[in-house]
Structures are given as C-alpha cells and as structure tokens.
Amino acid sequence: MPDRTKHDVVRGRGHPSLAALILAATAGFGAAHEVGAQATPDAPAGAAAVLFTNATIVDGTGAPGYAGDLLIEAGRIAAVGAPGSIDAPPSAERRDLSGLVLAPGFIDIHNHSTTRLFDSPLATTQLAQGITTLVVGADGSSPWAISDYLGRIDELRPTVDVATLVGHGTVRGAVLEDEYRRTATDAEIADMTVRVERGMREGAFGLSSGLEYDPGFYSSTGELIALARVAADHGGFYMSHMRDEEEGLLDAVDEAIRIGREAGLPVQISHIKAGNASVWGRAPDVLERIREANEAGLDVTADQYPYAAWQSGLAIVVRSRMFSNPDSVAKGIEAAGGGSRLQIVAFEPEPELNGLRLDEIARLKEMTEVEAYMWIMENGGSGLIGHTMNEDDVDTFMASEWVMTASDGGVRSAHPRGAGTFPRVLGHYARERGVLTLERAVARATSMPARRLGLTDRGVLRAGARADLTIFDPERVIDRSTFDDGTRQATGIESVWLGGVETWSAGEPTGARPGRALRRPG
C-alpha cells in the first residue's frame, strides 16, 4: 500500500504547551468536543444535588490547589467557587470537606478489567484508587465484537464508565489464525483494515498494539501504519505496547512515532519504561525523542505505572521464541539480571510455586534456572513479574510533562499496580518523595487521559462538566498492595462520585452502579 502522510490531521500540530492543552480541554479540544458530548450517557438515576464546602480544590489542569466550594446537580458540576460564594438550592445536601482534596475522577487509560468486571461489577480495588473511568483493549488485545462488549457493559451497569480500544492482535489473529508467524499479505492487511473500521464505527476510541506478544510480534511497520490510518480517519489514536522495552527500546520508540507520523494520528506509548539493565539510564533519551516529535507537530504522550517491576508472560523473557533452546533461554535470563529478578505468577499446574522467583523454583526442583524455565514453559507457561527496572528511570518518567498515569492492571491483578497505582503516585511519589507536585499528580490522572481520549466532559473541575469526583485525604492516601499481596486495598480515598452518584464511601462501595459504556462516535 502506498505511503501517505496526513500532517494536517495530526492533533497538536505546532504543539502548544502542555498547560495550554489542558486548559483547552475545559472548553473543548478541536473536534474532540463533540466526542465528549455524544459519548457521555445521560445523568444516572439517583444523581443528587450536593454542595461540597471547604475543600482544597485541585481541578485537574495542573494549576495550584485552592480553597473552595463545588455544587453538583443532575449529574453535572453546577458551580465552582470561593468558600461561601455558591447559592445552593435548599434541598441540596451539604458536605464539609475540610482537610480533604476534591479532584476530578481518575481516568485509567490502560486497564485490564475487561472480562473481570462481569464477575466483580463493584470493581472495589478500582474505586479504592479513585477511578471513575477505565479503558480496556490495550496491548493489542480487545473484546470482539466491540458493539457486543459495550452492550454487555451497559447491561452490567458497573461502578465505573468503560471505554475500549480495538486490538491489532485481535484483528490480526482473526485474519491469519494459526498462520500468524509471518508477514501479512496485502489482501490480509486489507481484511484487517475492514475489521478495524468496524471496531471504530462500533465505538472504539483507537487502535492498540502489543508488539512484544503474539500475534503482533510478527507484524510489519507497514501493516501497523495501514491499520492506524483507519483509526485516524475516525479521530482515534494509536496506543502501543512497543516491540521492545529493553535492548531495542529507542528503535521501538522511533517506530511508534513513525506510525503516528505516517498514519496521521496521536500516539500513546504504553507503560513507558527502561525494562532491564541494558537500558538503565536511557529514560532521558526516550523523553527527548518524544519532545522532538511534539515540537515537530506530532502528538505523542505516554503512560506509566509507578513501580520498578513489570508484569507479563514468562515467554517474553526469550525474545527469539526458542523456548526449548538452552542457549536462547540462558541469554534471556541473563539479560533480565538472573532468575532472582523473575517472579512466577499464575502457574496453574503447581500453584504453590506462585510468588516464588525462578532461582527459588530451580533450587526446589533441583534444576538449573534454564531447566526450570524450560520446564515451566513445557507445562503451559506462567505469568511473570519482572523486577528488572531502575527506580531512577521511574522517577525521570514520573517527572515528565509528557507522561500520564495508568495502571496496566485492574480487578484481581496479581501485580500491586492493579490495586495501588493512583494512590501510590499521590502518596509515595508526590507527598513522600516530592518527585512531582500534588497538582501535577492529579493532572496526570485526569485531564491528560481525558484529552488523549477526546473526552471534554470530564478530567477537569468546571461548571458544566460531568460530576465525576474523587475526594481524598492528602496526608493519608497511599497504596498498600505488594508483590506478595497484589490486591490489598489502597487507603485515603474518602469518596468517589460517578455522574453525581456516590459509588465509594467510608472505605467500601456504596452499592450504586451508575457506570455505562462510552462510545466514540464512528
């Protein structure tokens, strides 16, 4: 397929400052304004009139917090102002938020609660983090058909609003089936574009890829550009788990930016990291590439979870996919820093091994680390938490204006990010360590993902916006989940509201389930 560049449709051309972009979101950001209006459900039943007083208002723009009051009515923010300045109706409930922060509801742009919401519609660990909207379908794997999934979410009525992306791996697998270990033909790529077109028309917000995973691992850059152009035609964005977060990190960043440039759409780099010792200290180089891309008129951002360890499948350790080749396995384990850095999870044949490191399993089984790896793979493989990152790189990405917060977790995630991401940024990185300000931490969780999604009805506290609110104690908010207890509930989130309905209070769900599916107009 011939290359073509759609510079004119790349959002952020001439790229204003991040602050300007956030402020633009309060009044509508280009064509995204209609998206916000159409994608949002009507006010949920039970939406109350409530006057919140004496709050520290952190509005999501990154501006300094201030003392103020906020009134919600009919599922919307009716007024925001100085203490005592709002004339609330006599019937409105009054809530004194002295000592608490009032912020927009948090938006998790990379969440894996896709099917688990149907077993856990209260989404307790998500509410305990202040999440009101989450996006599934990342890493190239999405529900299908999109319309069916979103219809099921509407019927479920969870405690959060749910949006989805269309997964490159999902459509590639449907077209190539068992023959995915090769480059796709032009006819097969054309078939994939039809499927992406369908997904976008049914309400997906963009195209995601998972290029370290099958079947996306075998795709060409040209294939991805062709599919991304379809998402661009519908105002979507391209989100990528890149091909390599370790030795090939910088080349992978270049590829993601190229796809955005040639397809003509914004780029979101998933869970940005320097994944092992071979690229420790390269975070500034990654951010420099993102800065240059934005200055050149592209729209490139990233998201990050606040932990120095990742979660994936054990297979990812051996990049050659030669799992039964001892030399390839040994090379992969060495690059990760040894078996002591590889924590096995979700190994079904012997669940008592879950939580142990590969070196511990090798000793228990009287094997070498290479033999233990091969044995696990021969028995179906396992999940993996890789303790291979560097805290300095995490800090560097955390402080960047181009990076927002996302969990890459969700309901019942084994990794602590599934239950702790947003409170950890607020508590550990902002309050305890000062890596970023409280206001910046809130903006990373609210206006930044809202802008990337094109949603102008949430993400900033302003009159007329949807009444999605998170209220937290800035002195107590913190994650409590660990690598041994990944689902332990965070603390310090006092109250959460979705569309004017309180879903979280006093450390537990209220039982209200006002959540709906969000659909990007096709």
Q: Is the peptide bond before 215 cis (omega within 30 degrees of 0)?
A: yes
**183 DSSP assignment:** P
Amino acid making up residue 449: P
Does any domain span residue 434? yes
pLDDT tens digit sequence for 397-437:
999 999 999 999 999 998 999 999 999 999 999 999 999 99
In this structure, are 16 and 154 located in the same domain? Answer: yes
Do 401 and 496 lie in a common domain?
Answer: yes
Would you tell me how many other CB atoms lie within 10 Å of the CB of residue 87?
A: 9
- 332 assigned to some structural domain: yes
Residues 259, 255: Cα–Cα separation, whole Å:
6
Evaluate whether residue 76 is within a structural domain.
Answer: no
Domain boundary among 360, 386, 412: 386
User: What is the per-residue pLDDT for 277?
Assistant: 86
Q: Are 175 and 216 in contact (CB under 8 A)?
A: no
End position of a domain, from candidates 386, 408, 424: 386
Q: Report whether pLDDT(20) > 50.
A: no
The predicted model gives 202-209 an average pLDDT of: 98
**187 dihedral zone (left: phi>0; alpha: psi -120 to 50; beta):** alpha
Q: What is the pLDDT of residues 353-363, one digit of tens each?
A: 999 999 999 99
| 359/288 same-domain check | no
- Residue 240 contacts residue 290 (beta carbons within 8 Å): no
> Does 183 lie in the same domain as 294?
yes
Task: Give residue 30's pLDDT.
Answer: 30
* Boundary (domain end) residue, out of 370, 386, 402: 386
- Residue 496: band (very low, low, confident or very high) from pLDDT cuts 50, 70, 90: very high
331 and 189 within one domain: no
Task: Give residue 321's pLDDT.
Answer: 86
What CATH number is attached to the domain comprising 317? 3.30.1490.130
Domain shared by 303 and 317, yes or no? no
- Are 329 and 299 in the same domain? no
Higher per-residue confidence, 33 vs 489: 489
- If asked whether residues 298 and 263 sit together in one domain, one would say yes
At 291-328, the pLDDT tens digits run 999 999 999 999 999 999 988 899 989 988 899 999 99
Interatomic CA distance for residues 289 and 75, integer angstroms:
41
* 395 and 492 fall within a common domain: yes
- Report whether 90 contacts 482 (CB < 8 A): no
Q: Which domain holds residue 342?
A: 311-386
Same domain, 264 and 333: no
CA angle 196, 202, 206 (to 5 degrees): 50
Task: Map residue 31 onto helix, strand or coil.
Answer: coil
pLDDT at 48 over 90: no
- CA 456 – CA 25 distance, rounded (Å): 6
Q: Which of 267, 237, 272 is nearest to 255 (CA)?
A: 267
DSSP secondary structure letters along 286-349: HHHHHHHHHHTT--EEEEE-SSS-EEEEGGGG-TT--TT-HHHHHHHHHHTT-GGGEEEE--SS
Cross-strand pairs, 238: 207, 267
Instruction: Examine the domain organization and report whether 161 and 213 are in the same domain.
Output: yes
Q: How many whole angstroms separate alpha carbon 136 and alpha carbon 51?
A: 33
Q: How confident is the model at residue 6 (pLDDT cuts 50, 70, 90)?
A: very low
> What integer pLDDT is reported at residue 43 of this predicted model?
63
Q: What is the structure's pLDDT at 355?
A: 93
The β-bridge relationship of strands 300-304 and 267-269 is parallel
Q: 131, 472 in Cβ contact below 8 A? A: no
Structure confidence by residue, pLDDT tens digits, 182-200: 999 999 999 999 999 999 9
| Nearest Cα residue to 122 out of 445, 414, 503, 492 | 503
Task: Please check whether residue 136 lies inside any domain of the structure.
Answer: yes
Average pLDDT, the chain: 91
Q: Is 36 found in the same domain as 152?
A: yes
Cα of 54 vs its chain's centroid, Å: 32
Average of per-residue pLDDT across 84-90: 95
Rounded to an integer, the average pLDDT of 365-384 is 96
Q: How far apart are CA 282 and CA 112, in angstroms?
A: 28
Within a domain: 51:
no
Residue 47 pLDDT > 90, yes or no? no
Q: Is residue 343 part of a domain?
A: yes
Is residue 295 included in any domain, yes or no? Answer: yes
pLDDT tens digit string along 108-127? 999 999 999 999 999 999 99
Residue 292: what pLDDT?
Answer: 98
Does the pLDDT of residue 459 top 70, yes or no? yes
pLDDT of 42: 61
Query: Are 3 and 262 in contact, with CB atoms under 8 Å apart?
Result: yes
Q: Determine the angle formed by the axes of helices 249-263 and 283-295, rounding to 10 degrees.
A: 10
- We report the CATH number of the domain holding residue 11 as 3.20.20.140
Structure tokens at 29: 């950001």
Count of domains forming the chain: 2
Task: Return the structure tokens found at 319.
Answer: 């990049």
Reported in sequence order, the residue ranges of 231-304 that DSSP labels E, i.e. its strands, are 237-241, 267-269, 300-304
Residue 84 belongs to some domain of the structure: no
